[in-house]
Amino acid sequence: MTLNVGVIGTGMIGQDHIRRLTHVLSGVRVSAVTDVDAGRAKTVADDLPAAVLQPSGQALIEDPAVDAVVVTSWGPTHEEYVLAAIAAGKQVFCEKPLATTEEACARILDAEVAAGRRMVMVGFMRRFDRQYRAMKEVLTGRSIGAPLLMHAAHRNPSVPPHFTSEMIINDSTVHDIDVARWMFDDEIAAVTVLKPRISSKAAAGFNDPLLVLLEMASGVIVDVEAMVNAGFGYDIRGEVVCEDGTVELSESAGAVVKRAGQYAGRVPANWRERFVSAFDAELQAWVDAVTAGGTTGPSAWDGYAATVACETGLRALHSGRREPIVLRERPDLYKEPTP
Ligand SMILES: NC(=O)c1ccc[n+]([C@@H]2O[C@H](COP(=O)([O-])OP(=O)(O)OC[C@H]3O[C@@H](n4cnc5c(N)ncnc54)[C@H](O)[C@@H]3O)[C@@H](O)[C@H]2O)c1
């Protein structure tokens, strides 16, 4: 059976997901695309023999030739499309963020709970990364005892001129926030943001790097160094310190070369290179789960909790204080930890 997927938003990641849905993954094809930039959507549709160009997201969701929906438009538009897909009874994969405000995420939770089944997967692809999964497996096995703290780093080589300190939280650290919740099967209880000395490479008025402290409900503390002008590459780090040992995210999936007193491996150039296999695995898992009649991976609850943590992180960035997180009661639909 082939799953027919409609894609809303044919920008950078939309085109990347269309490429993998068309050329990399199995059991799926792109049957419709749309974008507010109709010219861009037409160029993309012209390259896809099985896809029709739909005039709007709503028309795409209602198209009987669309079994399930991928939302890769700008963040503030996600709520509308996710709600419409739920109302149409169609499974939806939504790139992060699920929605840009706590209230919008809560409306999605309410709609999914009313539907009585999980219909939303959120694109936190790090959960499908082999290195992160290996790390979590060690923690779950408890061979090194109970976790106490985690050090993480999220270093981007550079960012476009419109990037801001707020975007370091919303667009970069959001992934570390989801990793922390997933790694420890726990919620974040409070966020503090420290502002180290500013990099001379940062644009004026822009605090880069940031040190984001996430206090988990269990007491585990996660420190995330978030830096977006690292220059040398896209460098993702992680180490969990436990009572009887530590587990570290392996540095590179590529070859490590040792010669003449040197030790060298590749630093990925960007997030696409670092997480290409994770994106493939993430979307294949979604396709397989939808074909089997359900969904998988990060849920709408995970999307909601991440957005609340980002909003709290922004408060902490501006207040300079420790800001507690208050989540609504977790509905039964989301009681089980998500894969
Ligand atoms: N998981 C990840 O690591 C990751 C990486 C990149 C982007 N993203 C997310 O994917 C989303 C898209 O990011 P991008 O970098 O591809 O942005 P982009 O600007 O390259 O593309 C977004 C596209 O959405 C279209 N669009 C905007 N409003 C629309 C609407 N109402 N209906 C239909 N189309 C609309 C735009 O015209 C544009 O073509 C964002 O939410 C972003 O956070 C996630």
pLDDT band at 231 (very low <50, low <70, confident <90, very high): very high
1: confidence class by pLDDT, cuts 50, 70, 90: confident
Compute the distance between CA of residue 104 and CA of residue 136 in angstroms, rounded to an integer: 30
Domain 3-125+278-299 coded CATH 3.40.50.720? yes
- How confident is the model at residue 52, as a pLDDT? 98
10 Å Cβ neighbour count for 336? 10
52 close to 42: Cβ distance less than 8 angstroms: no
Architecture of domain 126-274+303-334: 2-Layer Sandwich (3.30)
Q: Which residues, at least 6 apart from 217, have a Cβ–Cβ distance to it below 8 Å?
A: 186, 187, 188, 189
Ligand 1 proximity of 152 Cβ (cutoff 6 Å): no
Where in the chain are all domains bearing CATH 3.40.50.720? 3-125+278-299
Whole-number Å distance, alpha carbon 138 to ligand 1 midpoint, is 35
Residue 202 has pLDDT above 70, yes or no: yes
Backbone CA torsion sign across 55, 56, 60, 63? negative
pLDDT recorded at residue 218 = 98
Does residue 76 have its Cβ closer than 6 Å to ligand 1? Answer: no
Question: What mean pLDDT value characterizes the chain?
Answer: 96
Pairing label, strands 256-259, 245-248: unpaired
Compute φ and ψ for 37, nearest 5 degrees: -85, 90
Phi, psi dihedral angles at 93 (to 5 degrees):
-105, 120
Predicted confidence (pLDDT) per residue in 259-287, tens digit = 999 988 899 999 999 999 999 999 999 99
Q: Mind listing the pLDDT tens digit for each residue in 163-200?
A: 999 999 999 999 999 999 999 999 999 999 999 999 99
**97 cis-preceded (ω within 30 degrees of 0):** yes
Cβ distance 323 to 312 under 8 Å? yes
pLDDT, tens digit, for every residue of 101-146?
Answer: 999 999 999 999 999 999 999 999 999 999 999 999 999 999 999 9
Statement: residue 323 has pLDDT above 70: yes
The pLDDT of residue 254 is above 80: no
Evaluate if residue 155 carries a pLDDT over 70: yes
Q: Is 80 exceeded by the pLDDT of residue 251? A: no
Is the predicted pLDDT of residue 252 greater than 80, yes or no? no
pLDDT at 253 over 80: no
Instruction: Give the distance (Å) from ligand 1 centre to CA of residue 130.
Output: 25
Rg (CA), the chain: 20
Q: How many other β-carbons are positioned within 10 Å of the β-carbon of residue 110?
A: 14
High-pLDDT (> 70) share of the chain, %: 99
Residue 96 has pLDDT above 70, yes or no: yes
The answer to whether residue 58 scores a pLDDT higher than 70 is yes
- From 74, 128, 172, the mutation candidate for ligand 1 (largest count of ligand atoms within 8 A of CB) is 74
pLDDT attached to residue 237: 96
* Tokens 């419709």 sit on residue: 32
- Dihedral over Cα of 304, 308, 311, 314: its sign: negative
Q: Atom of ligand 1 at shortest distance to CA of 37?
A: 37
Q: What's the pLDDT score for residue 41?
A: 98
Which one-letter amino acid corresponds to residue 326?
V
Q: Are 222 and 152 in contact (CB under 8 A)?
A: yes
Q: Which residue has the higher pLDDT, 16 or 266?
A: 16
In which residue ranges of the chain is CATH 3.30.360.10 found?
A: 126-274+303-334
Per the structure block, which two tokens stand in for 155? 């270093």
For residue 132, the model assigns a pLDDT of 97
**Measuring CA to CA, which residue among 206, 213, 225 is closest to residue 156?**
225
pLDDT surpassing 90 at residue 327 = yes
Q: Which of 12, 58, 171, 276 best tests ligand 1's pocket when mutated (most atoms within 8 Å of CB)?
A: 12
Residue 75 CB–ligand 1 contact under 6 Å: yes
